[in-house]
Chain A
Amino acid sequence: MVNEEESEAPVELRPMLDYRAVQTWLEGLKSHWGGDPATDDPERLPILEAFCRLMNRDPDQVIKETTMIKNGEKRIRVKGRERYANAINAWQETIQGSRIRQAKWGNTVRSFLIHNGVLLQSGVHQG
């Protein structure tokens, strides 16, 4: 569905905390909401890792594909952002469980992008 280049070798992922974009995400969560984002939700990092495997990209690559530097300024790649937004929406629908659980999985990845400066919004998901 999402991996358009089927010939690509599967991405080899290091522990999620090794990636700069993941560190940025957790720093953003801590700064905005408090707590210890590395441990307060044991599902957080595995969910991101599952999405990265689906997309065959590591977390830093995901951010690289949704942002760029133009004239010295960070910009959002419109097509990259849209591609990932659609991929998250589609992936979320495939998650087993309630709509709330589906939303949690999608929103975890959205949160990763948001705290890396990529604006994304979800729809309303009520139980």
Chain B
Amino acid sequence: MEFKEVVGRRRSIRFFEPDRPVEREKIQKMLEAARLQSCAVNAQWARAVVSFRDDLKPDQLKRLLTPVAALNVEMAPVHIHWFNDLSIVNKIQGSRLRELVDVGALAPTHGWSHKFVDEFVYPQILKPMTEGPAYPVYSTFDVGMAVANALLAGVDEGLAVCMVTLNGEVLKEVFKTPAEWIPMPTILVGYPAENWDGGGQRPRPPFEELYFEGEYGKPFPRDPKVVEQLKAAKMIQEPARPHSPERIAEIKRLADKYGLPM
């Protein structure tokens, strides 16, 4: 699938085919995509524990269920639980920046050298950063980017994906993760029981409310010609409509099929 169409087709799917397994190689492809995402100082904070639902003991699965996400978690055959490994910067101490210098990604043309990394970047910037209150926020941004890549790779593989937030303390206990890993959202993975379209592209705030040019308050102009190009490329798709009879009929069908409340 073309990249723009992958972006356009992604939906948070909440009806999975509960008994249709997901191929392991597709999960691996999602993880591979996450690993290749851009990451500040090449630290790689993102960690994941893949959990095949049917491999969980009943009490483990029950502990994962939260009021909002219980049904999704039960329906999805695979759960990828993401974590932020806060310990990594002080473990690697700039070594991955030195790797970037070695491969020419960071070059003297831009002021980079091993000596700069060893004497300045790690001890004077990165190490103090790990001791500051904003460190989990900075690093979580990078985890989010990795997770976004995994989501899109899943869509490209024809899978249904949905991000949910589960109870972090439960995740740490059930999956026995190190103390310094902060729980992040979980990607639920499966095959969609609903149409992949999910009733249409979900509502978003107007473009002009979100993006600015030059300074806050001056919207970045949205060129209608570009919008048309993106429609042709299937990145911008038919929007979901309120109270769509087709969508209501689909949800009724799914509620009947899976015995869900209406």
Residue ranges of A at the interface with B (Cβ–Cβ < 8 Å):
29, 32-34, 81, 99-100, 103-104, 106-108, 110-111, 114, 119-126
Contact = CB atoms under 8 A, between A and B. Distances in A.
B262 A111 contact: yes
A124 B67 contact: no
Contact of A126 (B68, B258, B262): B258
Interface centre among A32, A34, A103, A122 (most CB of B within 10 A): A122
A66 B67 CA distance: 14
A34 B248 contact: yes
A119 B248 contact: no
Nearest to A34: B248
A120 B261 contact: yes
Given A124-B71, A124-B74, A33 B252 contact: yes
Contact of B261 (A81, A100, A110): A110
Contacts of B68: 119, 121
Contacts of A108: 261
Residue of A103, A104, A114, A124 most packed against chain B (CB within 10 A): A124
Contacts of A125: 258-260
B258 A29 contact: no
B70 interface: yes
A34 B245 CA distance: 10
Given A111-B262, A126-B258, A121 B67 contact: yes
Interface in B61-79: 67-68, 70-71, 74-75
